[in-house]
A and B are shown apart, each in its own frame.
Chain A
Amino acid sequence: MFKSVLIANRGEIARRIIKTCKRMNIRTIAVYSEADAQSLHVKEADEAHLIGPARVNESYLNVDRIIEVAKESKAEAIHPGYGLLSENTDFAKRIQDEGITFVGPDSYAINQMGSKLTARQTMEKAGVPIIPGTNDPIPTAEEAKAFANKISYPVMLKASHGGGGIGMQIVNSDEELEKAFESNARRAEQFFGDGTMFIEKVIEDAHHIEIQLLADHHGNVLHLFDRECSIQRRHQKVIEEAPSPLITEETRQKMADAAIKAAKAIDYKNAGTIEFLVDENQNFYFLEMNTRLQVEHPVTEEITGVDLVEQQLKVAYGDELSLKQEDLLIQGHSIEARIYAEDPKTFFPSPGTITAISLPEDDFIRHDIAVEANYQVTPYYDPMIAKLIVKGNSREEAVANLKKALNHYKVEGIKTNIPLLNDIVDIQAFKEGNTRTSFIQEHILINK
């Protein structure tokens, strides 16, 4: 196994990775920005290196500096976590060229999935169902309108290189499309350096359900079942659970088969996730592949007993997966609630200093958390400060456990979305597992 791993990330995911490395006796090398000098991941790693000022472009996205630190500290591998450099083809390639192992797929696979349009084409060829839409870029608003009228409104306008909800918008008319086309293309250009746009049909009443995969360098591809991630705000997930309450056993198997087919089509290696939209008739459509560890990976770990970070490290090292598909079983139900530093009504960010925090403790609770009392939540990074993960023998029990845990989760000094989470667990549709992607819009915003 690797003797040392550099973690090119921050916050809760850096701590999460450090935890597994420690258990595996791997030396951990943290990197941090000036704004994160007092962070827990810096204190917990065996060594930590300053890589630049607060802004991500000068620190966590500073490839040259991160590679320099990796070489100086003799890191044998780099784990990118999620976000930041995790799906950056150049980064994966460059560290590979330096003789350092990237804990993730090769740059070819990242590239194949990095462009949503290329991914659509690849998946269609592999026989994985895709959402009806354009397979080529749409260069102008005029052409977008023509296509939208052909497949009929509402349509989803998307940036091919978009992510995190940026560069995508549902549009209902020619007029809306005209406005949205320019602004989304511009935002995608600003954020991702590529303003290529395309259009997909809107799948009505869709659920967002994804399949977790693990693939090694010996031709083995396993699935670790599904996660339901339909409760979202600003196209970003708020609550995730495993397994999905919507799909039947038959659909679950079909989706897993399709996901494995998708991974094999790009010769994928390491942990990855295929996201699907699923309608209420159990039809499913490829949405995108995340070629990295997901934020919501803990719910899969809780129901399967598999440490995904450990598996990632073993696969990256070249080990053959010792897990067998027939040994993997769904045991119980797990739900994750993301704790965001934000206004629970407007979803506007709320940076500031956490004056006090108290966390619920119980056997059924897991905390993946990056903050503590007196921690300063800065405006430079993602608003997610923690994840609350609960488990139960059944979904009903998991929901009850989530409610109990949230009742005792207190964060003071900044605004958080905990009031929103409390509202969600009390809604009948959530208790029934009736959680479409429109959930927050339908059940929360409409009543305000």
Chain B
Amino acid sequence: MLKEVVATMAGNVWKVVVNEGDQVETGTDVVILESMKMEIPVAAETNGTVKELKVNEGDFVNEGDVIAVIE
């Protein structure tokens, strides 16, 4: 089953914390977004493997954009 990790706010991707192929659990941080002097980690909401990372560090994302796909 595929599950998407989506941005909780608009901002820049400050850090990508995982790599494709990594095992993650619910609550594992996938990326850290940065916007207006605030950093917000975005965590996986399911256990699984990072199948695809859709963003790079420095990219701009809007709220709701897909950041990664977990399988």
CB of A351 within 8 A of CB of B11, answer: yes
Provide the residues of chain A in CB contact with B9, threshold 8 Å: 343, 346, 348-350
CB of A348 within 8 A of CB of B60, answer: no
CB of A352 within 8 A of CB of B10, answer: yes
Of the A-B pairs whose beta carbons lie under 8 Å apart in the complex, a sample of 23, sorted by A's number, is A164-B37, A234-B38, A341-B36, A342-B36, A343-B9, A346-B8, A348-B8, A348-B38, A349-B9, A349-B10, A349-B35, A350-B63, A351-B11, A351-B35, A351-B36, A379-B10, A379-B11, A379-B36, A380-B36, A381-B37, A382-B36, A382-B37, A383-B36
Write the chain B residue with the least CB distance to A378. B36
Q: Identify which of B36, B38, B40 gathers the most chain A CB atoms within 10 Å of its CB.
A: B36
Once the chains are docked, how many angstroms separate the CA of A234 from the CA of B39?
12
Provide the residues of chain B in CB contact with A234, threshold 8 Å: 38
Fill in one digit per residue for B32-71: 1 if any A CB lies within 8 Å of its CB, else 0.
0011111010000000000000000000100100000000
Q: B residues engaging A (CB < 8 A)?
A: 8-12, 34-38, 40, 60, 63
Write the chain A residue with the least CB distance to B40. A348
Known contacts A341-B36, A351-B36: does B60 contact A379 (CB below 8 Å)?
A: yes
Tell me the interface secondary structure of chain A in the complex. loop
Once the chains are docked, how many angstroms separate the CA of A445 from the CA of B37?
22
Write the chain A residue with the least CB distance to B11. A379
Once the chains are docked, how many angstroms separate the CA of A380 from the CA of B37?
7
Provide the residues of chain B in CB contact with A383, threshold 8 Å: 36-38
CB distance from B40 to the nearest CB of A (A): 6
Q: A residues engaging B (CB < 8 A)?
A: 164, 234, 341-343, 346, 348-352, 379-383
CB distance from B7 to the nearest CB of A (A): 10
Known: A348-B8, A349-B11, A382-B36. 12 other contacts (CB 8 A): A234-B38, A346-B8, A348-B40, A349-B10, A349-B36, A350-B10, A351-B36, A379-B12, A379-B35, A379-B60, A383-B36, A383-B37
CB distance from A271 to the nearest CB of B (A): 24
Top 10 nearest A-B pairs by Cβ distance?
A349-B36, A348-B9, A379-B35, A349-B35, A383-B36, A379-B11, A351-B10, A349-B38, A349-B9, A379-B36
CB distance from A235 to the nearest CB of B (A): 12
CB distance from A58 to the nearest CB of B (A): 13
CB distance from B57 to the nearest CB of A (A): 13
CB distance from B5 to the nearest CB of A (A): 16
Provide the residues of chain B in CB contact with A343, threshold 8 Å: 9
Provide the residues of chain B in CB contact with A349, threshold 8 Å: 9-11, 35-36, 38
Once the chains are docked, how many angstroms separate the CA of A383 from the CA of B34?
12
Once the chains are docked, how many angstroms separate the CA of A343 from the CA of B37?
15
Write the chain A residue with the least CB distance to B62. A352
Once the chains are docked, how many angstroms separate the CA of A234 from the CA of B36?
13
Once the chains are docked, how many angstroms separate the CA of A380 from the CA of B35?
6
Write the chain A residue with the least CB distance to B10. A351
Once the chains are docked, how many angstroms separate the CA of A351 from the CA of B63?
10
Once the chains are docked, how many angstroms separate the CA of A383 from the CA of B8?
16
Provide the residues of chain A in CB contact with B8, threshold 8 Å: 346, 348
Once the chains are docked, how many angstroms separate the CA of A164 from the CA of B37?
10
Provide the residues of chain A in CB contact with B63, threshold 8 Å: 350
Provide the residues of chain A in CB contact with B40, threshold 8 Å: 348
Write the chain A residue with the least CB distance to B9. A348
CB distance from B2 to the nearest CB of A (A): 26
Provide the residues of chain A in CB contact with B60, threshold 8 Å: 379
Once the chains are docked, how many angstroms separate the CA of A447 from the CA of B8?
22
Provide the residues of chain B in CB contact with A342, threshold 8 Å: 36
CB distance from B41 to the nearest CB of A (A): 11
Once the chains are docked, how many angstroms separate the CA of A380 from the CA of B36?
5
